[in-house]
Amino acid sequence: MKSKTISEQYLGLQTDLHKNPNYGMASLSFAPIVADLIRLSNSQTVSDYGAGKQRLLEGLQKEGISNLTYLPYDPVFPEYGSPKPADLVCCIDVLEHIEPEMLDAVLRELAEITVKLGFFSVHMGPAEKKLADGRNAHLIQQPSSWWLRKICEHFNVLQLESHGAMGRGFWIIVEKI
């Protein structure tokens, strides 16, 4: 049986937050790195886990990536369908938004769909946006050392870089164990 990755209540809160046109812009910042990774790994398929409004696809097209199968997944957009396996799985500024009790299930799901590599970015501090219930939109605010322990339960780390895009964070390239 598949583990639950989001509660109905939180799905409603995220659906409200996605109505903001400025919510989910981070993928555009990371598209150049993802484009380079696609070229270097010869990835033919990309799964965008937490795709939101599919801004990663927009950014990849601006980077000249066109001959690619793009597989979006986001529970807020049921029309995308379920998460699908891909050569490269991207999860850009999503993990910090996951309900803490669901994080292990999400990481397991990411590992299940990763064929070659994963590219994940994580913001470590508070978000500028709030949920309708008053909580900060970043439900998990932990340092990279905390995240690494979690991620390394499912993946081998190939590269980790700190960044200052929209606040303190890091991005990581992983392969499935």
Per-residue pLDDT tens digits for 132-156? 999 999 999 999 999 999 999 999 9
Contact 165, 29 (CB under 8 A): yes
Contact 151, 158 (CB under 8 A): no
3-state secondary structure string across 29-79? HHHHHHHHHHHHHCCCEEEEECCCCCHHHHHHHHCCCCCCEEEEECCCCHH
Helix or strand holding residue 162 (H, E): strand 155-163
Contact 30, 53 (CB under 8 A): no
Per-residue pLDDT tens digits for 9-67? 999 999 998 887 777 778 889 999 999 999 999 999 999 999 999 999 999 999 999 89
The phi and psi torsions of 73 (rounded to 5 degrees) equal -140, 135
pLDDT in the model for residue 2 = 63
Give the number of other CB atoms < 10 A from CB of residue 93: 25
